[in-house]
Copies of this chain bind each other. A is one copy, B any other.
Amino acid sequence: MFEFSLSASSGRARCGKLVTPHGDVETPAFMPVGTAASVKAVAPRDLSDVGAQIVLANTYHLMLRPGDALIAELGGLRAFTGWSGAYLTDSGGYQVFSLSGLRTLNEQGVRFQSHIDGTAHMLSPERAIEVQEHLGADIVMVLDECPPYPATREAVTAATARSTRWAQRCRDARTRADQWLFAIVQGGVHPDLREHSARELVAIGFDGYALGGLSVGEPKQDRLRVLDHVDNWLPADQPRYLMGVGTPEDIVEAVARGIDLFDCVLPTRNARNGQLFTRGGRVSIRNARYRCDRRPADPGCACYTCRTFSRAYLRHLHLAREMTAATLMTIHNLAYYLDTMKRIRQSIRSGRFEEFREETVRTQAAGASERAC
């Protein structure tokens, strides 16, 4: 039912395939974020059109609204949302720590108040698994304790140890055989704590391993230093997922260090704010230079938005606060991200990944700078 296989590598970068009950996921892969059972501003047909193979949904949001029991009653996430590809759900931990109001944490779990209506809820390792079994994703995540950044080494050590105990409880609580369970390596920016966390989790044994607690405000060099050691701690033949990352440059740098899976709100959130990712660099569509620019958002892109609309029209829609602006720019940004992943995979297979990496860093650093009118 599940299988992960690697087919090519270039340095530490890996290219492979994750077989799930709901379709194959070519890795390195990017997962669009569908927080509330919807990738904001687009529909499942758009996700298929841009080549998405797996979508992430958020346990925290869905347990609060519409409720995991309702989604289970309606046949799980896939039946509920109309997205027929693979799904991954997070465990809710990150959102409980970053979004909810009052919360009390102890060994049992975390009590918190909904950010929607203030109602009281409990998330424990067992409940996180129950919710995710209700939601029915192909890949589910253990509940972890996410320390803030910055935090003392002692606080990170304690949170990491608790996360390992919770990971064990998650593993013990699962009842469905048709879901893969991934552990989450914690340890902040400390390579030794990361290694300790990873070795303990690998000893318990999971279907895949994620890196949590990164891209939370730490310097990029600290993140890369952690990633530099991934090959030493994690089994080579299992999938590795870097949670919440990131820009195209960040993704390429993480692929270079052996990561297979990514998710991030950047392409969708930036689209709603009028920021486009293009082969020529970032385009801020509000800029007056695009007022009468007849070119598509990205002349090198084949998505519906780029086949159909000019920058001038996207700019107008954005300034007029038309919802369609968000839809069209989200379609493009997701197409850009998914095409980037495709080009990453091709470059690994053809042994030209290093060239692709350098090109990405160079072009993404530059803004689109031509003047159109």
| A316-B66 contact given A73-B292, A74-B292, A82-B309, CB 8 Å threshold | yes
B81 contacts A40, C-beta separation under 8 Å: no
Assembly stoichiometry (copies)? 2
A291 contacts B324, C-beta separation under 8 Å: no
Contact of A317 among B38, B73, B323 (CB under 8 A): B38
Nearest-neighbour CB distance to chain B for A131, whole angstroms, equals: 16
Chain A 71-88 residues near chain B, CB threshold 8 A:
73-74, 80-82
A324 contacts B292, C-beta separation under 8 Å: no
Q: Pick out which of these stretches binds chain B: A42-50, A172-180, A190-198.
A: A42-50
Residues from chain B with a CB closer than 8 A to the CB of A43 are 304, 308, 324, 327-328
Residues from chain B with a CB closer than 8 A to the CB of A37 are 313, 316-317, 320
A326 contacts B323, C-beta separation under 8 Å: yes
B312 contacts A82, C-beta separation under 8 Å: no
A312 contacts B44, C-beta separation under 8 Å: no
Quick check: is A319 within 8 A (CB to CB) of the other chain? Answer: yes
Residues from chain B with a CB closer than 8 A to the CB of A323 are 40-41, 323, 326-327
Quick check: is A294 within 8 A (CB to CB) of the other chain? Answer: yes
B80 contacts A319, C-beta separation under 8 Å: no
> CA–CA, A61 to B319, complex, Å?
13
Residues from chain B with a CB closer than 8 A to the CB of A326 are 323
Residues from chain B with a CB closer than 8 A to the CB of A70 are 291-292, 312
Quick check: is A65 within 8 A (CB to CB) of the other chain? Answer: yes
Nearest-neighbour CB distance to chain B for A122, whole angstroms, equals: 22
Residues from chain B with a CB closer than 8 A to the CB of A328 are 43
> In this complex, what residue of B is CB-closest to A308?
B82
Quick check: is A322 within 8 A (CB to CB) of the other chain? Answer: yes
Residues from chain B with a CB closer than 8 A to the CB of A132 are none
Chain A 278-325 residues near chain B, CB threshold 8 A:
291-292, 294, 304, 308-310, 312-313, 315-317, 319-320, 322-324
Quick check: is A224 within 8 A (CB to CB) of the other chain? Answer: no
Question: Beyond A37-B320, A43-B327, A66-B319: 18 further Cβ-contacts under 8 Å?
Answer: A36-B317, A36-B320, A36-B322, A37-B316, A37-B317, A38-B320, A38-B324, A40-B324, A41-B324, A65-B320, A66-B320, A70-B291, A73-B292, A74-B294, A323-B323, A323-B326, A323-B327, A327-B327
